[in-house]
């Protein structure tokens, strides 16, 4: 397995000292350097501490030596596509900052702005935080193992109101959902 701490730290523009300070509890730049170079064993405990500081999933800190990984090779600027001096590993959706579990919703039939084959990444939040998700697309569990999906348009007590993405659909009211998952990223094949 290849340790990716240095690559991710540099991509975020952090120094060894900044990463060491961001760890909880804080550590030294020397320790981070030894972990990056493999001079010190990267235990699960260290992976959890460093990943939390970098706001990524711990699994992103290592990768297989035999499997090819997505690479960032260029950036699109006002003047067009420009090559990077050195390609770098792409940080996949689990890198998205925030607390709460990530959920993937696959679109199997076009509805509203969503097309067949789209993947919608959502992050779970506590229903008490629903106000911050107003006017965002959310997924909410319903009784009997069902789900409701749509634009969160209202929150009253334990009730949330969702407007499904399809044309002419009626508002769905969900009573006291265990969680709400807010849309964070849409992945669409071209």
Residue boundaries of the structural domains of the chain = 2-89, 102-187
| pLDDT score at 190 | 82
Give the whole-angstrom CA distance, residue 155 versus residue 111: 24
| pLDDT score at 91 | 63
Give the C-alpha distances (Å, rounded to integers) separating 74 from 22, 83, 88, 171: 29, 4, 10, 43
Please report which confidence band the pLDDT of residue 70 belongs to, taking 50, 70 and 90 as the band edges: low
CATH code of domain 2-89: 1.10.260.40
Give the whole-angstrom CA distance, residue 128 versus residue 130: 6
Please report which confidence band the pLDDT of residue 96 belongs to, taking 50, 70 and 90 as the band edges: low
Please report which confidence band the pLDDT of residue 94 belongs to, taking 50, 70 and 90 as the band edges: very low
Helix (H) or strand (E) holding 104: strand 102-106
Tell me the CATH number of domain 102-187, given options 2.60.40.350, 3.40.640.10, 3.30.450.40, 2.10.109.10: 2.10.109.10
Q: Provide the 10 A C-beta neighbour count for residue 102.
A: 16
Please report which confidence band the pLDDT of residue 67 belongs to, taking 50, 70 and 90 as the band edges: low
How far is C-alpha 188 from the geometric centre of its chain's CA atoms? Answer: 16
| pLDDT score at 109 | 87
Please report which confidence band the pLDDT of residue 172 belongs to, taking 50, 70 and 90 as the band edges: very high
| pLDDT score at 103 | 84
Q: What is the mean pLDDT of residues 177-188?
A: 91
Token pair for 26: 């804080």
Is the pTM of the predicted complex or chain greater than 0.75? Answer: no
Up-side HSE of residue 97: CA atoms within 13 Å toward CB?
4
């Amino acid at each position: 397995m290849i340790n990716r701490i240095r690559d991710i730290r540099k991509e975020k523009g952090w120094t060894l000292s900044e990463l060491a300070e961001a760890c909880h509890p804080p550590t030294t730049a020397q320790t981070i350097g030894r972990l990056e170079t493999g001079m010190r064993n990267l235990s699960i405990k260290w992976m959890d501490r460093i990943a939390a500081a970098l706001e990524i999933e711990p699994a992103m800190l290592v990768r297989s030596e035999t499997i090819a990984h997505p690479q960032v090779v260029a950036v699109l600027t006002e003047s067009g596509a420009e090559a990077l001096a050195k390609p770098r590993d792409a940080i996949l959706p689990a890198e998205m900052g925030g607390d709460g579990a990530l959920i993937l919703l696959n679109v199997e039939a076009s509805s509203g702005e969503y097309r067949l084959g789209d993947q919608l990444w959502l992050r779970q939040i506590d229903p008490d935080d629903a106000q911050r998700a107003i006017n965002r697309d959310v997924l909410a569990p319903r009784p009997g193992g069902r789900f409701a999906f749509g634009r969160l348009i209202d929150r009253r007590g334990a009730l949330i109101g969702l407007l499904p993405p399809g044309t002419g659909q009626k508002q769905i009211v969900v009573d006291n959902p265990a969680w709400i998952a807010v849309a964070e990223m849409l992945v669409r094949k071209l």
